[in-house]
Amino acid sequence: MASITSLKAITIADVRDLLGAVVLNGEDLSIKVEAVGAADLLSDVLATSKSGTLLLTGLINAQVIRTAIVADLCGVVFVRGKKPGEEILSLARESKIPVLGTPLKMFEAAGRLYMAISGNR
Amino acid sequence: MMAEAFESVYHVLGKDFSNAGKVSTSIKDTLKRMGISPLVVRRVAIVSYEAEMNLVMYATRGKVSLSVSRDAVTLNVDDEGPGIPDISLAMQEGYSTATPEMREMGFGAGMGLPNIRKNADEFDISSQVGRGTRLFIQVKQASAA
């Protein structure tokens, strides 16, 4: 998984603003994003992510949320305007995993967050 | 640090994709409540999740036995299933017999077993074709970092 550690502190609320995203789950948007990664292969997320990583993904299924729980991710962003179903969102609510949805494609979403956390706006 | 050894057995059903991962999140909760170091908990949860996904994807049924001692967290994973004809091939990164459905879920890319070995301090695998596969996975408590 391509991932980068935050040099500049951003929060889930910042991610929402940067990606023009809607918050699908999450009450506390002040959670710090320690790192960002983009992947559609959950085995890679499990193998390479650090705890506190925000995952950008185009996959829509319950395994994404379970991966977030297992790997201590700080949140999930579904890209390309994909809408997770109720089963996925209720699992996210139960396990307090923030979930955002953005209409952006993976490349642009990752690019915007890369610029933000590396301090090059 | 916990005083006594702890053991628990979890059952996993093959093809039960909607519950896939439940056992691992529950193992994670249990270990967290026991006050085990977050780094050890995370590693155990990761290997357990990969093993659980393998059971769901390939086996008819299986069980995950968790045991916790002062020194280590151990998972014994035991399934009834097709078995693995060539273990050294199965341990290669990228080698996979997964179906497109499995890949669509974000798994089945031939990274599961290599990831388990990478995250474990002790790892052993044995398999009988037509019978099933056993994994022994251990994460040492002191190896947190």
User: pLDDT per residue over B3-18, tens digit each?
Assistant: 568 999 999 999 999 8
For position B2, what pLDDT does the model report?
52
- Does residue A119 carry a pLDDT above 90? no
CA dist., res. A61 & res. B104, Å (int): 9
The answer on pLDDT for A3 being more than 80 is no
CB contact under 8 A, A61 and B105: yes
Give mean pLDDT, residues B106-122: 93
Q: What is the DSSP string of B17-36?
A: GGGTTHHHHHHHHHHHHTT-
Nearest beta carbon to residue A63 from set B20, B42, B111: B20
Instruction: Tell whether domain A2-117 is in CATH 3.10.20.30.
Output: no
pLDDT of residue A74: 97
Structural domains in chain B plus CATH codes? 6-143 (3.30.565.10)
Look at residue B102 in the predicted model and tell me its pLDDT. Answer: 87
Counting residues of chain A whose pLDDT is more than 70, the rounded percentage is 93
Measured between alpha carbons, how far is B85 from B130 in angstroms, rounded to an integer?
A: 9
Supply φ then ψ for residue A89, to 5 degrees.
-70, -35
Alpha-carbon span B74 to B62, nearest angstrom:
16
Summarize pLDDT for A87-114 with one digit per residue, the tens. Answer: 999 999 999 999 999 999 999 999 999 9
Is the pLDDT score of B144 beyond 60?
no
pLDDT in tens, A6-28: 667 899 999 999 999 999 999 99
Burial grade of A107 (CB within 10 A; 0-12, 13-18, 19 or more): exposed
Domain layout of chain A by residue ranges:
2-117
Q: What 3-state DSSP class applies to B104?
A: helix
Whole-model pTM: value is 0.91
Nearest to B101 by CA among B57, B54, B55, B60: B57
Residues B102 and B120 sit within 8 Å (Cβ to Cβ): no
Percent of chain B with pLDDT strictly greater than 70? 95
Among B28, B45, B107, select the one facing A42 at the smallest CB separation.
Answer: B107
Which pLDDT belongs to residue A8? 74
| A43 to B107: CB separation less than 8 angstroms, yes or no | yes
Q: Tell me, what's the pLDDT at B142?
A: 84
Lowest mean pLDDT among A63-72, B23-32, B102-111: B102-111
d(CA B115, CA B102): 17
Q: What is the C-alpha to C-alpha distance for residues B96 and B113, in angstroms, rounded to an integer?
A: 10
pLDDT for res A9 = 84
Alpha-carbon distance of B71 to B44, in angstroms, equals 14
Q: How many CB pairs under 8 A join A and B?
A: 74
Per-residue pLDDT of B48-74, as tens digits, reads 999 999 999 999 999 999 999 999 999
By CB atoms closer than 10 A (0-12, 13-18, 19+), residue A120 is exposed
Q: How confident is the model at residue B104 (pLDDT cuts 50, 70, 90)?
A: confident
Q: What is the CA radius of gyration of chain B?
A: 15
A8's tokens: 């500049």
Is the minimum CB–CB distance between B20 and chain A shorter than 8 Å?
yes
Q: How far does the CA of residue A69 sit from the closest CA of chain B (Å)?
A: 7
Which residues of A fall within a CB distance of 8 Å from B92? Answer: none
